[in-house]
Amino acid sequence: MTKRRLMCASAVLMAGMGVGACASTTTGDPPATGPSGNFEFFSFWTGSGEAEGLDALVRVFKDENPNVILVNATVVGGGGSAAREVLAQRMEDGQPPDSFQIHAGHELIDTYVVADKMESLSFLFEEENWSAVMPPALIDILSHEGDIYAVPVNIHRANMLWYNKSVFAAHNLQPPTTWTEFFAAGDVLRTAGVTPMALFVYGGVEYVQLLEVVLLSELGPQAYRGLWTGATSWTGAPVTAALTTFKRVLEYAQPTYASLPIAWEVAAQQVDDGTAAMTIMGDWAEGFFKSLGREPGVDFGWIESPGTGESFDLLSDTFALPKGVSNREAALAWLRVAGSKAGQDAFNPKKGSIPARTDADRSLYDVYLQATLDDFATKAIVPSFVHGAAAAPSWITLVTTSLAAFIVDGDIPALQGALAANCVTAGVCQ
């Protein structure tokens, strides 16, 4: 068996879904032109909602490229952290997938673009006229030294709180807009035997994201941005206040949150089944709830994380093109679909995200996503740290390690000192 066929068989076993299939699904005589052969794309969309969105995007691609056999090199676990480790090893070994999913910003640029491992996609943006339908601020995040290096397929918002409407109604609660309201609601829920906030920290993503939104709530958009550029001091009183709030927020999670190797989907499931009332997670959680057959605004509710109502904490999933891939023609076809209106309008309503394009068909999007489209156009945009838009992956690793120690000892001065040192190590602070 050839190496490529081994990879294909492995992808089918790992993915367990139609997008991993290694046989053509077309009937009749396929077109004589266009890309053909195996096309391996690398992703970490395996959760409910995520997988359905990817399936929809793949169907658009297959309709346009029936001669291509897709190989879905899915890696499960850790909100993408496991996938990034596998991808890094493959890139180091000179065996890149034909295209891979990665967060826009520093996660791509600091890791692979500056290492000269990626092709510029500026020509593709020019051919497809994407600069006319994607916001300049987003294209700037995708760019390095004047060249564009990734095709964004969506926009996500990280600073969201999801809640079980039935649980809130049963206890006569309103969704909290401030941390004071969050603590008050949490006290009522704990007294009633309900976990106020579901939280699991497999891979560290969830608690770093929670810290991120608490920092945003206490500092506001401008000072929050400054944390990642060196303009805001990590040793100042606002950060101390944020860490104090963060420590208290953790007290409202289930006691086992740090001890079980379980990811965000389990936290969302606990909100759905009513064993927990809330979870703070990005809006991919909406895709998860809808995959269970739940109706937005009826079965589950949402509000911006306390204190962040005027901010839009942004991340974007993109696909990129490594140098020296096996099937460049198919990779370019995939990127064209990922950036197309048809591809994005198929993918995002199921994924629980909004398009990177500004010409979306709003009728395809539910009440939550239409509100998100409006918020994206009006709220203060800030880059997500943990999801790679604000800082390099090496800095995220440092913060994750510092938080792991804090989860054990709860020492706020030690954590603040560690975070300040992390910024120095990252080369941003003096």
CATH of the domain at 69: 3.40.190.10
Strands 311-315 and 156-157: antiparallel
Kindly state whether residues 142 and 77 are assigned to the same domain. yes
pLDDT score of 78: 53
Q: Which of 426, 407, 415 is nearest to 240 (CA)?
A: 415
Instruction: Determine, yes or no, domain membership for 185.
Output: yes
Instruction: Determine, yes or no, domain membership for 430.
Output: no
Rounded Cα distance between 252 and 255, Å, is 8
Kindly state whether residues 140 and 259 are assigned to the same domain. no
Kindly state whether residues 307 and 198 are assigned to the same domain. yes
Kindly state whether residues 260 and 199 are assigned to the same domain. yes
Instruction: Determine, yes or no, domain membership for 20.
Output: yes
pLDDT score of 30: 55
Kindly state whether residues 226 and 87 are assigned to the same domain. no
> Going by C-beta distance under 8 Å and a sequence separation of 6 or more, which residues neighbour residue 92?
none
pLDDT per residue as tens digits for the range 256-287: 887 776 778 899 999 999 999 999 999 989 98
Cβ pair 247, 120 in contact under 8 A: no
Lowest mean pLDDT among 83-87, 101-105, 124-128, 249-253: 83-87
Kindly state whether residues 141 and 163 are assigned to the same domain. no
Kindly state whether residues 279 and 353 are assigned to the same domain. no
Strands 311-315 and 68-74: unpaired
Q: Provide the domain limits for residue 408.
A: 157-313+378-425
Q: Where are the beta strands (DSSP E) in 206-320?
A: 276-280, 300-304, 311-315, 317-320
Instruction: Determine, yes or no, domain membership for 215.
Output: yes
Q: Which of 376, 216, 378 is nearest to 308 (CA)?
A: 216
Kindly state whether residues 360 and 419 are assigned to the same domain. no
Cβ pair 101, 317 in contact under 8 A: yes
Handedness of CA 48, 214, 395, 405 (dihedral sign): negative
> Domain count of the chain?
2
Rounded Cα distance between 239 and 248, Å, is 14
Rounded Cα distance between 179 and 183, Å, is 6
Sheet with 151-152, side-by-side order of all strands: 68-74, 37-43, 99-103, 317-320, 151-152
Tokens of 322: 């490594």
373, 397, 412 - which closes a domain: 373
Kindly state whether residues 44 and 146 are assigned to the same domain. yes
Strands 195-197 and 276-280: parallel
Is the pLDDT at 80 greater than 70, yes or no? no
Helix ranges (H only) for 308-362 are 328-338, 341-351
Q: Average pLDDT, stretch 61-66? A: 97
Kindly state whether residues 352 and 244 are assigned to the same domain. no
Sheet with 195-197, side-by-side order of all strands: 195-197, 276-280, 160-164, 300-304
Rounded Cα distance between 70 and 7, Å, is 11
Q: Which of 122, 123, 117 is nearest to 95 (CA)?
A: 117
Confidence (pTM): 0.85
Q: Average pLDDT, stretch 11-32? A: 42
pLDDT score of 77: 60
331, 346, 373 - which closes a domain: 373
Tokens of 63: 């309709």
Kindly state whether residues 222 and 146 are assigned to the same domain. no
List 319's β-bridge partners, or say none.
101, 151
Instruction: Determine, yes or no, domain membership for 104.
Output: yes
Kindly state whether residues 391 and 271 are assigned to the same domain. yes
List 72's β-bridge partners, or say none.
41
Q: Average pLDDT, stretch 2-7? A: 34
Instruction: Determine, yes or no, domain membership for 139.
Output: yes
Cβ pair 376, 354 in contact under 8 A: yes
